[in-house]
Amino acid sequence: MGVNETAKLALLLRSISSNTICSGFISQSAISFKVALLRRKQMTMQLYELSSKNDCRFSPYCWRTRLALKHKQLTYEIIHIRFSDKAAVAFYSQERFPVLRDGDKVISDSWNIALYLESNYPNKPNLFNGHAGRSLTNFLNGWVDQILHPSLIPIIIADILNNVDPIYENYFIESRMARFGKHPKEMQNRNTANMQNFENAARALRASLKNKPFLTGDRPAYADYIVFGAFVWYTLLAILTY
């Protein structure tokens, strides 16, 4: 319901409630209506995901979770978080995203969120296509994190820095230097070796997709969202930077 519709409804309720015969009923109805709206708002999931300047969301892990929620046909609200913006997630003790808040439950890590959604919303479309599919998807999740992502980082890490809000640049530089031992601008290099390393990692995916539209067959599932996250990471940064 938009702002104009809400205002019209409020005026209508006020007009009708001026009638002494209907005032008690309408007043109670208005209260019930407000309570219902409040409960609906409280029940809506909240997805906290990283956002760069210009509100671009390129985090591969956040994309996995966003697509998982859509796959499950669940209603959720997106809350954009900047790097090191701890005040917005005071209820959460870590610094890694995405974070999903579902009522009084707080779940972090895209894989843990996928498992939570599958376990707590079993009547919604399946993310893994069964137990065996979940095990294979877990393997793919690790492969992307340990093989595909590391092959991408040397060719995009400075591009990430260029798209971080200026007030968070120092945080990004310091945290990445602690992790990799180099400044992002020193680390990024699209030389032949780095590009070939990425090509080698992508070759296995290309072979798997040769005769089918998705890794999981005719329809996408969480395995596809894991891979999609990696490539949208690369693609969005390329669009923003070049």
pLDDT in tens, 221-242: 999 999 999 999 888 887 777 6
151: CB partners within 8 A, 6+ apart? 194, 197, 198, 200, 201, 202
What is the model's pLDDT at position 68? Answer: 98
Whether domain 45-120 has CATH 3.30.70.890: no
Tens of pLDDT, residue by residue over 23-37, are 443 345 444 444 444
157: CB partners within 8 A, 6+ apart? 176, 180, 184, 187, 188
Domain boundaries, the chain: 45-120, 131-241
Cα–Cα distances (Å) from 179 to 25, 176, 187, 227, 230, in that order, read: 63, 5, 12, 23, 19
CATH classification for the domain delimited by 131-241, as one of 1.20.1050.10, 2.50.20.10, 1.10.10.10, 1.10.3470.10? 1.20.1050.10
Tens of pLDDT, residue by residue over 131-177, are 899 999 999 999 999 999 999 999 999 999 988 888 888 988 999 99
